[in-house]
A = this chain, B = another copy of it.
Amino acid sequence: MKRMVSMVVLLFLVSVPVVVDAKIATKVVEYRHGDVVLEGYLAYPQFMKGRRPGVLVVHEWMGLNDYTKKRAEQLAQLGYVAFAVDMYGKGVRAKDAKEAGALAGKYKGDRPLMRSRALAGLEALKGQPRVDPSRIAAIGYCFGGTTVLELARSGAEVAGVVSFHGGLDAPIPAEPGRVKAKVLVLHGGDDPLVPPDQVNGFEDEMRKAGVDWQLVAYGGAVHSFTNPQSGNDPSKGVAYDARADRRSWRAMRDFFEEIF
């Protein structure tokens, strides 16, 4: 009997949706962008009623991994339906920094592709039955931060986008009046990969395009400051910063309270 109960529990755990904790559930979601098959990760409050705001989560340069999934789960714990998108394709994940650079570089070097790939994820999220499609935001980390800013530049119907230590360069700058999303940039004040010139250029771009933008610089924080796997040596230019992680998450929550 005891063995039978265990088997039932096991079967339940490997089924879809998976119950992650008492409050949230998760599900792998396959979707497409043209002929490319993509595999995202949905997390939502288990006992929700009606439709909830949806939050797109865009991964770092390594591709959709456990870190990104954890962020989606944290958003579900806040009551949102979170969808961690897959920018690279089903099963396409970087094994190391070299591969990550090549994968991310492909999209960074082709912003129209980056935008349309992100839009495919947005449509997949909007199509989820638990989601209120009129209340959508997008957040992203590093490469994903750049991606959600491109999503905003595309004129996508999202209430807001939040970039965590994302690159701020704009090969195709935002057109005046086109951006519908409110924009919140959470930036490491000492991020060597996003230097002051790039920050100033970004602010100028937002200004000219008439965007509702905000930028928070966290002193002492360098690149990838929200990811505990980034080490703890800021002198390397990439490091976790618990303080900036906590503050930036708080800023995102305030932003969501405002836009939803």
Contacts and interface: CB of A to CB of B under 8 A. Distances in A.
Chain A interface secondary structure, helix, strand, loop or mixed?
mixed
A63 interface: no
Interface in A214-260: 214-220, 243, 247, 250-251, 254, 258
A213 interface: yes
A101 interface: no
A254 B215 CA distance: 16
Interface string A168-204: 0000000000000001000001100000100010010
A216 B214 contact: yes
Residue from the set A206, A218, A219, A251 with the largest chain B CB neighbour count within 10 Å:
A219
Contacts of A213: 189, 219-220
A215 B216 contact: yes
A214 B247 contact: yes
Interface residues of A, number: 24
A207 interface: yes
B220 A212 contact: yes
A104 interface: no
Contact of A219 (B196, B203, B218): B203
A258 B247 contact: yes
Interface of A: 183, 189-190, 196, 200, 203, 206-207, 211-220, 243, 247, 250-251, 254, 258
7 contacts: A189-B213, A190-B207, A200-B200, A215-B216, A217-B217, A251-B254, A254-B254
